[in-house]
C-alpha cells in the first residue's frame, strides 16, 4: 500500500478540499440531525472523532462527518451543547467570537491513501467497517484522556518550535509529537507516584488531573520547548535515539528554566557538547527495552545533560542582579571604594565582590561594594594573575 498522508484540517479547510463523497462505496444511511449535532458537539468540546479516510480524492469513510460540517456551516441545523445542559441550541451564525474561535481551532484528521486502485479502495472500505483499523498508542491515550488534558496536549503540539525540533525525523507514525509530550510529562510527574516505569505511567497519566495547574504548566512547557529550540536549533539528533535524548533534554531544561538567559548565551557550546555526548548519554544502548523506560536510567540521562549545562548556570550566580544594583545605589556611598571617585549616577559604577568570587566570595549584598571601572579592571587583573 502507498504511504498514508495524514492531514489535520480545520472544519472549514476540510470543506474547502471538496472531496467527492458521492461514491458507490458510501453507505447511504442518512444520519439523523441529532448525530450531526453530536459531531459538531465533538468538535466544540474536543471529543475524539475518528479520522476521515480518503483515496483517489474520494471519501471512503467520513461522508456523514463532512456532510454534518457542511450543513452546519450552511445554517441547516442547530448545535446543542451536550456538556452544558443549560445552553440553548445555536446555529453557526449565532456563534459568539469565543465559539467561532473554538470551532475554527478544532481539527479533524484525514488519512489520505493517495492513488490506489478500485479493488484496494473497496477492500479498505470493507476492512474499516469491520473495525479492523486500530488506533495507535498515542491516539488511544488521547481518546481516553480527560477532555482538559487532551486540549492541553493538542495546544502544546501547536508550538511551532516543537514542529521544528522534530522536523528532521521520519514521519512514519501518527501523533509522534503528542506522544513525545505525554512521555515528557510522565517523567516530570512520575516522582509523585510509586512506580518507576515511565511507559506504564504514560498510559494512564492523562486519565486523571495532572498534579499542576494546566495554565501554569502550559507556560512552562512551552517555555522549555522554546528554550530547547533556541539551543538545539536544527541539530540533527539521530532518529534511533531521538525520543530518548529529547525527553532528557526537556526535563533538564525544564528544571533549569530560571537560568534560561545564561543557557541561551552559551547555546553554541551547549549544543556542541550535547551533540557530541549523545552516545554517552544513551549509554551506547539502542532500540528500546527496560533501559529506556525505567526511571533509574532516565534519571541518569537527565543527570548527564545537567552536567553539561551546569558550568553555564554557575556563571549566572557570579553576577549581582538588577535588584542588587538598585539596593547598592540606595544603601552604599556614591563613590569608588578604592580611589574615592564620586559617582553621579548608577551607570558610572560597577558592582564588585569585596571578597572576590574567584576566591570563594559569595554573591551577597554583604559582599558588595561599588568600584569605578578602572579600579574594577585593576582588581580583576590582579586576581586573574594569581589564578
Q: Identify which of residues 265 and 338 has a Cβ nearer to Zn ion in the complex.
A: 338
Query: In the complex, what is the shortest distance from the CB of residue 385 to Zn ion, in angstroms, rounded to a whole number?
Result: 19
Chain residues binding Zn ion by CB under 5 A are 336, 338-339, 341, 372, 375
Q: Which long-range contacts (CB under 8 A, 24 or more apart) does 326-334 make?
A: 327/365, 328/365, 328/368, 328/370, 331/365, 332/368, 332/369, 332/370, 333/370, 334/370
> What CA dihedral angle connects 352, 355, 358 and 362, to 10 degrees?
-80
- Rounded distance between C-alpha atoms, residue 58 and residue 116, angstroms: 11
Angle, alpha carbons 335-372-313 (nearest 5°): 115
Query: In the complex, what is the shortest distance from the CB of residue 353 to Zn ion, in angstroms, rounded to a whole number?
Result: 15
Helix residue ranges, H only, 106-193: 118-129, 137-144, 147-156, 160-166, 176-189
Nearest to 176 by CA among 239, 113, 117: 239
- Rounded distance between C-alpha atoms, residue 317 and residue 296, angstroms: 30
Q: What are the Cα distances from residue 345, in Å, to 65, 214, 321, 333, 370?
A: 69, 44, 17, 12, 12
DSSP string, 304-315: HHHHHHHHHHHH
Q: Identify which of residues 204 and 335 has a Cβ nearer to Zn ion in the complex.
A: 335
- Rounded distance between C-alpha atoms, residue 207 and residue 109, angstroms: 22
Tell me if 175 sits within 8 A of 138, measured CB to CB: yes
State the number of CA atoms in the 13 A half-sphere of 243 facing the CB.
18
Q: Identify which of residues 60 and 371 has a Cβ nearer to Zn ion in the complex.
A: 371
Q: Identify which of residues 257 and 342 has a Cβ nearer to Zn ion in the complex.
A: 342
- Rounded distance between C-alpha atoms, residue 40 and residue 17, angstroms: 19
State the number of CA atoms in the 13 A half-sphere of 259 facing the CB.
22
Q: Identify which of residues 270 and 336 has a Cβ nearer to Zn ion in the complex.
A: 336
Q: Identify which of residues 60 and 351 has a Cβ nearer to Zn ion in the complex.
A: 351
Q: Identify which of residues 227 and 372 has a Cβ nearer to Zn ion in the complex.
A: 372
Query: In the complex, what is the shortest distance from the CB of residue 336 to Zn ion, in angstroms, rounded to a whole number?
Result: 3
Query: In the complex, what is the shortest distance from the CB of residue 323 to Zn ion, in angstroms, rounded to a whole number?
Result: 24
Cell of 73: 456551516
Q: Identify which of residues 61 and 352 has a Cβ nearer to Zn ion in the complex.
A: 352
Tell me if 282 sits within 8 A of 302, measured CB to CB: no
Q: Identify which of residues 55 and 336 has a Cβ nearer to Zn ion in the complex.
A: 336
Query: In the complex, what is the shortest distance from the CB of residue 333 to Zn ion, in angstroms, rounded to a whole number?
Result: 12
Query: In the complex, what is the shortest distance from the CB of residue 340 to Zn ion, in angstroms, rounded to a whole number?
Result: 7
Query: In the complex, what is the shortest distance from the CB of residue 370 to Zn ion, in angstroms, rounded to a whole number?
Result: 9
Query: In the complex, what is the shortest distance from the CB of residue 371 to Zn ion, in angstroms, rounded to a whole number?
Result: 6
Query: In the complex, what is the shortest distance from the CB of residue 365 to Zn ion, in angstroms, rounded to a whole number?
Result: 20
Amino acid at each position: 500500500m502507498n504511504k498514508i498522508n495524514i492531514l489535520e484540517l480545520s472544519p472549514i479547510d476540510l470543506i474547502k478540499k471538496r472531496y467527492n463523497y458521492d461514491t458507490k462505496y458510501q453507505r447511504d444511511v442518512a444520519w439523523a440531525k441529532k448525530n450531526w449535532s453530536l459531531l459538531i458537539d465533538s468538535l466544540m468540546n474536543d471529543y475524539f472523532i475518528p479520522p476521515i479516510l480518503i483515496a483517489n480524492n474520494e471519501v471512503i469513510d467520513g461522508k456523514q462527518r463532512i456532510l454534518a460540517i457542511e450543513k452546519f456551516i450552511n445554517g441547516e441545523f442547530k448545535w446543542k451543547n451536550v456538556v452544558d445542559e443549560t445552553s440553548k441550541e445555536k446555529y453557526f451564525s449565532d456563534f459568539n467570537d469565543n465559539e467561532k474561535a473554538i470551532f475554527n481551532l478544532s481539527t479533524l484528521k484525514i488519512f489520505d491513501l493517495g492513488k490506489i486502485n478500485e479493488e484496494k479502495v473497496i477492500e479498505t472500505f470493507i476492512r474499516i467497517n469491520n473495525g479492523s483499523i486500530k488506533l495507535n498508542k498515542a491516539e488511544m491515550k488521547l481518546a481516553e484522556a480527560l477532555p482538559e488534558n487532551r486540549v492541553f496536549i493538542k495546544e502544546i503540539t501547536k508550538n511551532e518550535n516543537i514542529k521544528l525540533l522534530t522536523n528532521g525525523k521520519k514521519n512514519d507514525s501518527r501523533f509522534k509529537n503528542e506522544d513525545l509530550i505525554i512521555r515528557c510529562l510522565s517523567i516530570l510527574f512520575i516522582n509523585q507516584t510509586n512506580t518507576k516505569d515511565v511507559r506504564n505511567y504514560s498510559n494512564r497519566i492523562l486519565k486523571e488531573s495532572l498534579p499542576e495547574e494546566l495554565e501554569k504548566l502550559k507556560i512552562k512547557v512551552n517555555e522549555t520547548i522554546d528554550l530547547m529550540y533556541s539551543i538545539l536549533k536544527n541539530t540533527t539528533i539521530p532518529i534511533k535515539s531521538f525520543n530518548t535524548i529529547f525527553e532528557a533534554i526537556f526535563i533538564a531544561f525544564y528544571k533549569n528554566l530560571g537560568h534560561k538567559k545564561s543557557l541561551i548565551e552559551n547555546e553554541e557550546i551547549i549544543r556542541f557538547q550535547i551533540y557530541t555526548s549523545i552516545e554517552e548519554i544513551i549509554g551506547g544502548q539502542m532500540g528500546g527495552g527496560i533501559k529506556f523506560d525505567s526511571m533509574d536510567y532516565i534519571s541518569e540521562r537527565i543527570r548527564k545533560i545537567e552536567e553539561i549545562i551546569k558550568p553555564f548556570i554557575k556563571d549566572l550566580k557570579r553576577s549581582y542582579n538588577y535588584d542588587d544594583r538598585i539596593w547598592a545605589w540606595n544603601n552604599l556611598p556614591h563613590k569608588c571604594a578604592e580611589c574615592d571617585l564620586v559617582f553621579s549616577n548608577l551607570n558610572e559604577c560597577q558592582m564588585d565582590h569585596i571578597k572576590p568570587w574567584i576566591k570563594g566570595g559569595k554573591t551577597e549584598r554583604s559582599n558588595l561594594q561599588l568600584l569605578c571601572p578602572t579600579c574594577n579592571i585593576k582588581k580583576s587583573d590582579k586576581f586573574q594573575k594569581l589564578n
